[in-house]
Structure 1
Amino acid sequence: MMTFQQIVLASHNAGKLKELQAMLGDTVQLRSIGEFSSVEPEETGLSFVENAILKARNAARISGMPALADDSGLAVDFLGGAPGIYSARYADGKGDAANNAKLLDVLKDVPQEQRGAQFVCVLALVRHADDPLPILCEGLWHGRILSEASGEHGFGYDPLFWVPERNCSSAELSPADKNQISHRARAMSLLRQRLGLA
């Protein structure tokens, strides 16, 4: 079992840092890669796993610390898993509203029963930049894509993602409830088990 007091998170996103720290608990302190560098690595991988490892290795190399990276996105069944690793850049980097508008347009004639989707999260933890055995934890959150946005919480595709077990959109969940059942929560639960924190 590996023990860590501090891990650098390969993200400049303060919201993600706070969310993951809450899920991880107070046994391990997460620090932002922003303390060490403002440069984002180019995500050249062709899968969530490849990009998560790439980001974790980069953060470990820059900080000299163990590093955790998260690569997440939305995979729509009808679109063969798209937007997938390109979820954040689906509408050419124009932001969440543009991404959502593009997805709604692409799916406008697709019936409800064919709008299945899942949020995907892969967490990669490396002890050092050249770690030959990264810890990989995956979380999937199954739902479907709505025909119009609903809800005010969350970010990204949350307003379009219907959560069957709660009978509402992801954006209608409270942050605390979302942190119990989301793809990121499921991946983090596995990571906690691997680190002996569960």
Structure 2
Amino acid sequence: MRTDYSNWTPITVAEVRDLFDPIPVWWAIAGGWALDLHIGHQTRKHSDTDIVFFRDEQEAVFDRLSQDWLIYKAESGKLSVREPGEYLATTKDIWVCKDENSPWAFQLMIIDREQDEWVYRRERSIRRNWTDIRAFTTEGTPYLKPELQLLYKGGSTEIREKDQLDFERILPHLIGEERQWLSFSLQTQFPQGHPWTEVIKSYRSR
């Protein structure tokens, strides 16, 4: 079991595309890189590279990656090797490296869908057609749409400093319906209130 959680040498977005394009599955860049791809330039240093894909397509993803990479499950604060052929029914976080001594190269986030809908795991009433949750750069790189990525950041149990800065940086780049969707989703998950919803409301009133 590895405990070197900060030992990262992340691959680039271009390398991710070269790796995932041949795999016949839906996938997208996520995390801070997704937000930077949306606005067209890098705004900060990224300590890792995140990719999302759907749980029901994991077999194709893992079959391809296991040829050249070592796959670890991240659960309950611990990292353990995914066994060959193991189906991950609830795991959502995967760390990938070349071998047991090499730095972490990229992180996989497994997301869920039911029929034609993506399902937000923290509040399952928040849904969206799964074909409408990613966008593409001019080069054709898929990335998670910014309002969804901000929901993942703002919907966490703790809003990290970098998540707050990402929110403040990206908000001016969201169109009205994207801001409205993010605000409604945060209100749905946090009916008692969320600090970002007031910011979004005040932004709309400018």
Classify the TM-score, shorter chain. 0.3 to 0.5
What TM-score, normalized to structure 2?
Answer: 0.33
What TM-score, normalized to structure 1?
Answer: 0.34
